[in-house]
C-alpha cells in the first residue's frame, strides 16, 4: 500500500516537473533541481520494479531482433500473428537450449579435468608459500594459522552462501520465465503498442512521431544485430587464438569472452583473467602471450569491429559506459550490467531525434572531429595516401 502512494506521488511530481520544464521564466536552478529530482525518482521506480522491468526490457530487445523473422513468416508464408509468434519463441528457445547444452558439455569436461587442475593449484600454492617465507620472513606455521582462520570464516558462512546460491538460481529461472512471457506479448501485440505510441501524441506531431519511431526501430534492430555479430567475431578470434596456443577449454573461454565483451572494459578484463588463470593452472607456458593476445583482440574489437559492425551512430564513450555499468549494477544487478549499454544506446538514438535533447546525445557519444582536413601524399604514380590532420580544439 505504501508503494502505491509513493507511485502516485511520483506520478504527480513528474507531471509537475514536465510542466515546469516548459516554463522559460522559471529560474535555471529550479528547473535543474526538478530534472535531477525526476531522474532520482525514475531510478527509484526502476529499482522498485526490477523483477518486472529487467525481463521486460530484455524481452523487448529480443522482440526487436526477431521482428524481421516474424514479419517474414507473416508476409511470405501467410502465417497468422499468433503462429509467427509461436515460431519465433520456438527458435529462441532452441537457440538458448543449444547455448545451455554447449556450456554444460564444456563444463563437464572441466569437471573431469578438475583433479589435474587441483594438483597444479596445490603445487603453485606451495611455491607461493616458499616465496612468502623468503620474502616476508613469515614461517610456514603462521601462514597455516592465517589460512585456517580464513577457512573457518568461509565455512561458518556456508549456509549464507548456499542461501544466496539458491536465491540467485530462483531469480534466474524467474527472469527467463518472465522474459519469455514478455517476448510473446510484445511480439504478438506489437501493432497495438505501435498504435498506442502514436495516439498519445497530438495530431500535429503524428508525422514526426512516425518518422522517429521508424528510424529508431531500424537503428535498434541494426544495433542489436551488430551486437550479436560482434559477439560472434570476438568469440571466433579468441577461440582460434587460444587453440593455436594450446590453451585448454579454448572454445569455452572464447564464447565466454564474446558474451562478457558486451560489458565494456570490465567484461574483457574478467575474461582475460579467467583465460590467464586456466592457462597457468594447466601448465601452459604461454600465459604472458595469452595476456598480450587479449589486449590485441580488445584493440581490434574497439577500433575495427565495433565501428564497422555496430556502427559509430550508437557508439557510447567510455565515461558514460562506465557510469551506465555502475548504475545498472546498482539497480538491477548482473542483468543490469548487461542491459545498461543497449539501454543507453537506445536513449542516445531517441535523443538524436528530439531537438531539445540533442546535446545529451552528443555528450553520450564519441567526440566528433569537426576541423579535420585531408592531406594527400603521393606514394607512386597511381597510388595516393590520405591522412586526416586534426585541427586545434
d(CA 212, CA 205): 11
Grouping H, G, I as helix, E, B as strand and the rest as coil, residue 129 is helix
- Which cell goes with 104? 554444460
Indicate the helix (H) or strand (E) that contains 373.
strand 373-380
- Which cell goes with 195? 498504435
CA proximity to 114, closest of 283, 270, 282: 282
Phi-psi region of 300 (alpha: psi -120 to 50; beta: other; left: phi over 0): alpha
- Which cell goes with 373? 582536413
CA proximity to 346, closest of 218, 215, 216: 216
d(CA 260, CA 297): 13
User: Are residues 133 and 139 in contact, defined by beta-carbon separation less than 8 angstroms?
Assistant: yes
pTM (predicted TM-score)? 0.73
d(CA 205, CA 330): 37
User: Are residues 55 and 178 in contact, defined by beta-carbon separation less than 8 angstroms?
Assistant: yes
According to DSSP, the residues that pair with 209 across neighbouring strands are none
Q: pLDDT at position 244, please?
A: 93
d(CA 319, CA 238): 26
Provide the H-helix boundaries in 113-139: 114-136
User: Are residues 389 and 372 in contact, defined by beta-carbon separation less than 8 angstroms?
Assistant: yes
- Which cell goes with 68? 524481421
Q: pLDDT at position 128, please?
A: 67
- Which cell goes with 290? 595469452
Residue 156: phi and psi, rounded to 5, are -65, -25
CA proximity to 192, closest of 56, 81, 70, 52: 81
User: Are residues 392 and 371 in contact, defined by beta-carbon separation less than 8 angstroms?
Assistant: yes
User: Are residues 367 and 391 in contact, defined by beta-carbon separation less than 8 angstroms?
Assistant: no
CA torsion, ordered 6, 12, 15, 20, to nearest 10 deg? -110
d(CA 79, CA 70): 9
**Residue 216: Cβ-neighbour burial (10 angstroms; 0-12, 13-18, 19+):** middle
d(CA 279, CA 257): 15
User: Are residues 275 and 254 in contact, defined by beta-carbon separation less than 8 angstroms?
Assistant: no
d(CA 54, CA 343): 11
- Which cell goes with 379? 606514394
d(CA 321, CA 130): 42
d(CA 124, CA 130): 10
Domain extents for the chain?
53-200
- pLDDT tens-digit profile, the chain (393 residues): 444 444 454 455 455 454 544 555 667 777 777 777 877 888 888 888 888 899 999 999 888 888 889 999 999 888 999 999 999 999 988 988 888 788 777 777 776 776 766 677 667 667 766 776 777 666 656 656 666 565 555 545 545 555 555 566 677 778 888 999 999 999 999 888 888 888 887 887 778 778 777 777 777 777 788 888 888 999 999 999 999 999 888 888 999 899 888 777 778 888 998 898 888 777 778 889 999 999 999 888 888 887 777 665 567 787 888 888 889 888 888 788 888 888 888 888 778 877 778 888 888 887 665 544 445 444 444 444 444 444 444
Can you state the percent helix, strand and coil of the chain, rounding each to 5?
80, 5, 15
According to DSSP, the residues that pair with 377 across neighbouring strands are 385
Amino acid at each position: 500500500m505504501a508503494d502505491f502512494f509513493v507511485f502516485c506521488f511520483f506520478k504527480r511530481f513528474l507531471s509537475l516537473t514536465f510542466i515546469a520544464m516548459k516554463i522559460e521564466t522559471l529560474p535555471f536552478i529550479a528547473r535543474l533541481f526538478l530534472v535531477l529530482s525526476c531522474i532520482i525518482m525514475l531510478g527509484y521506480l526502476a529499482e522498485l520494479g526490477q523483477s518486472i522491468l529487467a525481463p521486460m526490457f530484455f524481452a523487448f530487445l529480443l522482440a526487436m531482433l526477431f521482428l524481421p523473422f516474424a514479419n517474414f513468416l507473416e508476409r511470405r508464408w501467410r502465417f497468422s500473428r499468433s503462429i509467427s509468434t509461436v515460431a519465433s519463441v520456438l527458435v529462441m528457445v532452441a537457440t538458448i537450449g543449444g547455448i545451455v547444452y554447449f556450456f554444460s558439455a564444456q563444463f563437464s569436461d572441466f569437471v573431469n579435468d578438475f583433479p589435474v587442475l587441483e594438483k597444479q593449484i596445490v603445487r603453485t600454492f606451495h611455491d607461493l608459500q616458499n616465496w612468502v617465507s623468503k620474502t616476508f620472513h613469515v614461517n610456514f606455521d603462521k601462514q597455516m594459522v592465517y589460512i585456517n582462520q580464513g577457512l573457518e570464516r568461509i565455512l561458518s558462512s556456508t549456509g549464507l552462501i548456499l542461501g544466496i546460491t539458491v536465491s540467485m538460481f530462483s531469480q534466474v529461472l524467474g527472469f527467463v520465465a518472465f522474459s519469455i512471457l514478455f517476448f510473446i506479448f510484445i511480439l504478438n501485440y506489437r501493432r497495438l503498442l505501435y498504435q498506442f505510441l502514436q495516439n498519445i501524441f497530438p495530431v500535429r506531431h503524428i508525422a514526426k512521431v512516425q518518422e522517429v519511431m521508424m528510424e529508431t526501430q531500424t537503428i535498434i534492430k541494426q544495433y542489436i544485430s551488430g551486437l550479436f555479430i560482434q559477439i560472434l567475431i570476438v568469440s571466433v578470434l579468441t577461440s582460434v587464438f587460444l587453440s593455436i596456443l594450446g590453451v585448454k577449454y579454448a572454445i569455452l573461454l572464447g564464447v565466454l569472452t564474446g558474451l562478457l565483451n558486451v560489458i565494456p572494459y570490465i567484461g574483457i578484463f574478467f575474461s582475460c583473467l579467467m583465460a590467464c588463470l586456466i592457462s597457468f593452472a594447466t601448465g601452459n607456458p604461454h600465459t604472458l602471450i595469452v595476456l598480450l593476445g587479449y589486449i590485441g583482440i580488445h584493440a581490434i574489437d574497439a577500433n575495427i569491429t565495433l565501428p564497422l559492425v555496430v556502427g559509430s551512430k550508437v557508439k557510447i564513450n567510455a565515461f558514460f559506459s562506465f557510469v551506465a555499468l555502475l548504475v545498472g549494477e546498482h539497480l538491477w544487478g548482473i542483468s543490469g550490467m548487461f542491459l545498461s549499454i543497449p539501454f543507453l544506446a537506445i536513449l542516445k538514438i531517441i535523443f538524436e531525434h528530439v531537438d531539445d535533447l540533442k546535446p545529451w546525445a552528443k555528450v553520450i557519444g564519441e567526440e566528433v572531429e569537426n576541423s579535420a582536413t585531408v592531406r594527400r601524399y603521393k606514394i607512386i604514380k597511381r597510388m595516393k595516401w590520405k591522412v586526416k590532420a586534426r585541427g586545434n580544439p
